Structure 1
Amino acid sequence: MKALLVDDEKHVRDAIRLLGHWEDFGIDTLLEAADGDEAIAAITAHQPQIILSDMRMPGKDGMALLEWISAHAPHSKVLVISGYDDFELVRHAIRHGGMDYLLKPVEADELNASLLKAVTAWEEEDAIRIQSTRQSIVVNRMRPHYQDRLLTELAVGRGSSPSHMQRLQDELNLPCLIPVCSVAVTSLSHLDADCLAKYRSQPDLLVFSVLNICAEMLSTPDEGVMFRQLDQPDEIVLLHWGPSTSLEHILDKVNHGLEQTIQRRLHFGISICESYPGGISAAYLEASSRLWRRNAVQIKQRTHASVESSNGNKIRRLTAHEEPLRMAAMSCRASSVAAAVAEWLDPITDLEVVSAEQIQQWIDELEWMLSHWLDDTAGSSFNEEEVTEERSIPFAELPLDYEGLLSFPLLRSLLEQRLLAAGKALTAHHHANPDPMSEIARYMDAHYQEDLSLQQIAARFYLSREYISRKFKQQFGLNWSEYLGKLRINNAKLLLQNPSLRVAKISEMVGFQDEKYFSKVFKKMEGITPAEYRKTVFQPGT
Structure 2
Amino acid sequence: MKALIVDDEKHVRDAIKLLGQWETAGIDTLYEAADGHEAVAAITAHQPQIVLSDMRMPGKDGMALLEWISVHAPHSKVLVISGYDDFELVRHAIRYGGTDYLLKPVEADELNSSLFRAVDAWKEADAVRMQSTRQSMVVNQMRPHYHDRLLTELVVGRGSNNTQFQRLRDELNLPKQIDSCSVAVTSLSHLDAQCLAKYRSQPDLLVFSVLNICAEMLSPPAEGVVFRQLDQPDEVVLLYWGQCSSLQTILEKVNDGLEQTIQRRLHFGISSCEFQPTGTSGAYQEASLRLWRRNALQTKQCIHDTLESSIGNKGLRLSAFEESLRLASMSGRATSVSNAVAEWMEPITRLDVVTAEQIQQWVDEMEWMIGRWLDDAAGAPPKEEDEAIEEQPIPFAELPLDREGLLSLPLLRSLLEQRLLAAGKALTAHHHATPDPMSEIARYMDAHYQEDLSLQQIAARFYLSREYISRKFKQQFGLNWSEYLGKLRINNAKLLLQNPFLRIAKISEMVGYQDEKYFSKVFKKMEGITPGEYRKTLSDGNV
- Map of 1:90-489 to 2, 5 A cutoff? 138-310=138-310, 312-378=312-378, 392-428=393-429, 429=434, 431=437, 432-434=440-442, 462-463=467-468, 466-467=471-472, 470-471=475-476, 473=478
Residue 244 (structure 1) shift:
3.1
Residue 38 (structure 1) shift:
9.4
Residue 323 (structure 1) shift:
1.6
Distance verdict in 2 for CA 1:134–1:273, change over 3 Å: same
For the residues of structure 1 that align with 2:285 and 2:211, how far apart are their CA atoms? 20
Residue 133 (structure 1) shift:
9.3
For the residues of structure 2 that align with 1:465 and 1:391, how far apart are their CA atoms? 10
Task: Tell me the residue number matched to 2:505.
Answer: none
Say whether the 8 Å CA contact 1:371–1:464 is kept in structure 2: no
Residue 464 (structure 1) shift:
6.4
Fraction of identical pairs, as percent: 66
AA aligned opposite 1:462: E
AA aligned opposite 2:441: N
Residue deviations 1:206-249 (CA, integer Å, cap 9, x gap): 21221111111112311111111111111111111034311111
Aligned pairs, number = 347
Residue 170 (structure 1) shift:
2.9
AA aligned opposite 1:398: L
For the residues of structure 2 that align with 1:153 and 1:475, how far apart are their CA atoms? 30
For the residues of structure 2 that align with 1:372 and 1:134, how far apart are their CA atoms? 50
Residue deviations 1:277-314 (CA, integer Å, cap 9, x gap): 12111110111001111111123522111112336444
Secondary structure at the residue paired with 1:178? coil
Say whether the 8 Å CA contact 1:363–1:398 is kept in structure 2: yes
Residue 328 (structure 1) shift:
1.1
RMSD: 4.0
AA aligned opposite 2:442: P
Secondary structure at the residue paired with 1:299? coil
**Residue range with higher mean Cα deviation, 308-317 or 218-227:** 308-317
AA aligned opposite 2:308: E
Say whether the 8 Å CA contact 1:273–1:282 is kept in structure 2: no
For the residues of structure 2 that align with 1:36 and 1:375, how far apart are their CA atoms? 83
For the residues of structure 2 that align with 1:230 and 1:471, how far apart are their CA atoms? 32
Q: Structure 1-normalised TM-score?
A: 0.56
Residue deviations 1:449-491 (CA, integer Å, cap 9, x gap): xxxxxxxxxx995346654653564689x99xxxxxxxxxxxx
- Structure 2: any 5+ residue segments left out of the alignment? 1-108, 381-390, 447-463, 485-543
AA aligned opposite 1:252: E
For the residues of structure 2 that align with 1:156 and 1:437, how far apart are their CA atoms? 39
- Structure 1: any 5+ residue segments left out of the alignment? 1-34, 48-68, 77-129, 381-389, 439-458, 480-542
Distance verdict in 2 for CA 1:468–1:285, change over 3 Å: farther
Secondary structure at the residue paired with 1:182? strand
Q: Structure 2-normalised TM-score?
A: 0.56
Secondary structure at the residue paired with 1:410? helix
For the residues of structure 2 that align with 1:36 and 1:171, how far apart are their CA atoms? 53
Residue 405 (structure 1) shift:
1.3
AA aligned opposite 1:405: L
AA aligned opposite 1:434: A
Say whether the 8 Å CA contact 2:192–2:405 is kept in structure 1: yes
Task: Tell me the residue number matched to 2:27.
Answer: none
Residue 131 (structure 1) shift:
12
For the residues of structure 1 that align with 2:445 and 2:233, how far apart are their CA atoms? 22
Residue deviations 1:133-173 (CA, integer Å, cap 9, x gap): 98765443232222111111111111544442233123211
